[in-house]
Amino acid sequence: MKNQSELRALLRSIDHRDYPAYKGLRGSYDFGDYLLHIDHVQGDPFAAPSAVSVSVSAARAAFPPAYLSPAHRKTALEDFLVRLFGKETEKYSKKARGSGKSGLISVSRPGQEVIPRSACSIDSAGNVTFRMEIGFPANGRTINAGEMDKILFDFLPSCVRNALFNRSVDRKALKAAVDLADDQDYIRKELDKRGLCAFVADKAVLPRASGVSDLLMKGAVPFSSPESMRTEMDLPHAGRISGMGIRRGITLIAGGGYHGKSTLLHALERGVYNHIAGDGREYVITDRSAMKIRAEDGRSIACDDISLFISNLPGGKNTVRFSSENASGSTSQAASVVEAAEAGARLLLIDEDTSATNFMVRDSLMQRVIAPDKEPITPFIDRARLLFEKHGISTILALGSSGAWFIPADCILQMDEYRPVDITQRAKEAAQEEMAGSLPGQGAPGLTDAGPSLPSSDLSPHRVPLPDRTFAADRIKTRTLGRDGFSIDRSTVDLRYVEQIVDPEQSAALAQCLLYAGRHLMDGKRTVREIADILEDLMSEKGPGAAAEGSYTRTGLALPRREEICAMLSRFRGLRIR
């Protein structure tokens, strides 16, 4: 392996040469405290930046072995280093001058969630690898070795020294981050033990600063649990905390407009991830498998069994193997529910505002006017109890327009100026009075599992993707479209309404998952769930970059959940089912 002096000499030898001469720098170099790896060199100064990584041995990094396991601790450590390294690079990015992307030092920029990322990986022995992208400097399209020297021998060593060694970091802040991860993991484990699907701590701050900012809203009303739902937990580090425990079953979040229904639901939706200290939602913890469900007009559906909700379509269209290139609101939402079950979700999160009304409920007057044999939809209100009692799938629903849901609900909350009030008893009594005054022959939504009961509605994973020739090509171009999805070859995978994708790097990882699945896993034998399980296990064991094939591990990938992998596969318009 060459040392830093040899790298400097090599750099000087290519000064003022044509830009492709930079490719001669590829390789590894010993900088004493760390190794520098130039993994990929951009073709010209206006192209995507070059891939560079540094590795620090466990002996030199010297982070406490106790921080390396279990997984939540290691993820907290890696996340801490990514954020710290990012702050260090802010001092130097674009300080080296030149054309195009010259001088750019680009690293992952995490949001409020703590997610494993390919930017930083620490192995079981404690060896640290940090990945980034750097714009190699040029004047026009000729090499500027002087500016490159600044990056490699001044800027980058400073960032590494200040961010990747235990002796240099704020050890008190690092310990606090790891301790918080311990406490969050403790709450997650307690959910199952206590029969809960979610926990929201007292004093949590749920509202966000704006529709485009995930930071907490200053001056917001802190959360306070209804006394009837308050539960206490003794955390390993923070000690005793209290908050609202939402039991498994059917829970309604009701109330007037602008009182915080969707705000609470959104916090629960994000509670599948851990959050950093100061976010306000540190102790908002939701069942890891929870999935947000909504209508998605126009999405594609491939052989979903939606017969639990929709049957007897005009023209005799099959709903046991239902496919569509342009699904309606109701069929798309029905498909999302059965796909969530296929992915192993134990909790559905639904907001009335983004749901198809005819999928959610059909009032008694409509039932009288429209004959049952003319209505192919069995609304969700008539299946929610079945989903829980037969399949163990709970529902949390935010709504403000239909009291019919009071009948099947186990728990009913009213949000009053961002404070929850348990109105279960009062709402149930009102519902009983309403039923007593119903006209003869009127139905009562939610009382029974109305509609056809089909053997195929066991919701077990059954869809088996067929091989796709698209993935036989040696080179397939992918492009990430932020959190909205990605394009692969000439096809776009639309993930705009998969709302628990919280980072563009998760979309990038999902694109690599599809490539890997298409090349290695879609064999006409494995189910969608089995494919997602393999991908999840691969990335959990080897990191988010494991599904991305190539000579080096790229930065810019964040771990998606199994649920989002399944959702992505289901929205791939090239998906063909056996």
Cα 152 to Cα 474: distance, rounded to the nearest angstrom: 34
Burial of 525 (0-12, 13-18, 19+ CB in 10 A): exposed
Q: What is the per-residue pLDDT for 342?
A: 97
- CB proximity list for 211: less than 8 A, separation 6 or greater: none
- Note whether residue 477 is domain-resident: yes
CA distance 194 to 278: 27
Cis-peptide into 70, omega within 30 deg = yes
Scan for tokens 């290519």, then name that residue. Answer: 14
Q: Is the pLDDT of residue 268 over 90?
A: yes
Show Cβ contacts of residue 502 under 8 Å, excluding neighbours closer than 6 positions.
111, 113, 115, 270, 273, 483
Alpha-carbon distance of 419 to 255, in angstroms, equals 10
Q: State residue 272 phi and psi, 5-degree precision.
A: -75, -15
124 against 458, higher pLDDT: 124
Same domain for 157 and 186? no
Given 129, 145, 169, the domain boundary residue is 169
pLDDT band at 354 (very low <50, low <70, confident <90, very high): very high
Asked if 317 and 343 sit in the same domain, the reply is yes
pLDDT of residue 440: 44
CA distances from 293 to 249, 315, 339 (A): 16, 28, 10
Examine the domain organization and report whether 127 and 34 are in the same domain: yes
What is the structure's pLDDT at 438? Answer: 59
On whether both 210 and 161 belong to a single domain, the answer is no
Query: Do residue 326 and residue 428 come from a single domain?
Result: yes
Q: What average pLDDT does range 11-17 have in this prediction?
A: 97
Backbone phi, psi, residue 263, to 5°: -65, -45
Asked if the structure places residue 363 within a domain, the reply is yes
Same-domain check for residues 308 and 413: yes
Provide the CATH number for the domain around residue 449.
Answer: 3.40.50
Share of the chain above pLDDT 90, in %: 88
Q: Is residue 174 part of a domain?
A: no
What integer pLDDT is reported at residue 386 of this predicted model?
A: 95
The answer to whether residue 577 is domain-embedded is: no
Q: What is the pLDDT of residues 394-449, one digit of tens each?
A: 999 999 989 999 999 999 999 999 999 999 999 999 998 887 765 444 455 555 44
Q: What is the 3 state secondary structure string of 91-159?
A: CCCCCCCCCCCCCCEECCCCCCEECCECCEEECCCCCEEEEEEECCCEECCEECHHHHHHHHHHHHHHH
Report if residue 576 sits inside a domain. no
95 pLDDT more than 70:
yes
Within a domain: residue 187?
yes
Q: Do the domain assignments include residue 69? A: yes
What is the pLDDT at residue 82? 99
Maximum Cα–Cα distance for the chain, whole Å? 93
Name the helix (H) or strand (E) containing 424. Answer: helix 424-436
Is 50 exceeded by the pLDDT of residue 541?
A: yes
pLDDT digits (tens, 9 = 90+) for 18-32: 999 999 999 999 999
pLDDT band at 459 (very low <50, low <70, confident <90, very high): confident
Do 152 and 184 fall within a single domain?
no
Rounded Cα distance, 282 and 11, in Å = 47
d(CA 39, CA 316): 57
Say how many domains are in the chain: 3
Residue 274 three-state SS:
strand
Sign of CA pseudo-dihedral 315, 338, 525, 455: negative
Residues 37-55 have pLDDT tens digits of 999 999 999 999 999 999 9
Tokens read off for 483 = 């959190």
Q: Tell me the pLDDT tens digit for each residue of 215-262.
A: 999 999 999 999 999 999 999 999 999 999 999 999 999 999 999 999
E strands of 236-311, at which residues?
Answer: 239-247, 250-254, 274-275, 284-286, 291-293, 301-304
Q: Express as a percent the part of the chain with pLDDT over 70.
A: 96
Domain-located, residue 37: yes
Q: Do 499 and 548 share a domain, yes or no?
A: yes
Distance CA 522, CA 508 (A): 20
CA dist 310 and 307 (Å) reads 5
Q: Which of 439, 460, 481 lies at the terminal end of a domain, its last residue?
A: 460
Q: How far is Cα 338 from Cα 459, in angstroms, rounded to an integer?
A: 6
The dihedrals phi and psi of 13, each to the nearest 5 degrees, come to -70, -20
State the pLDDT at residue 460: 77
**Token pair of 314 as six digits:** 């005009």
Q: Provide the residue range defining the domain that includes 272.
A: 180-460
For 302, counting Cβ atoms within 10 Å of its Cβ (0-12 exposed, 13-18 middle, 19+ buried), the class is buried
Separation CA 34–CA 55 (nearest Å): 6
Is residue 295 domain-shared with residue 192, that is, in the same domain? Answer: yes
pLDDT higher than 70, residue 344: yes
Same domain, 452 and 508: no
In whole numbers, what is the pLDDT of the chain averaged over residues?
Answer: 94
Instruction: Over range 181-202, report the average pLDDT.
Output: 99
Task: Report residue 374's pLDDT band, with 50, 70 and 90 as the boundaries.
Answer: confident
Same structural domain, 430 and 554: no
C-beta separation of 322 from 337 below 8 A: no
Number of CB atoms found within 10 A of residue 218's CB: 8
pLDDT tens, position by position, 475-533: 899 999 999 999 998 899 999 999 999 999 999 999 999 999 999 999 999 999 999 99
* Predicted pLDDT at 283: 99
The alpha carbons of the chain give a radius of gyration, in whole angstroms, of: 27
Positive or negative: CA dihedral 41, 42, 45, 50: negative
Judge residue 269's burial from the number of C-beta atoms within 10 Å of its C-beta, 0-12 exposed, 13-18 middle, 19 or more buried: buried
Are residues 493 and 522 part of one domain?
yes
pLDDT of residue 365: 83
Domain boundary among 114, 147, 169: 169
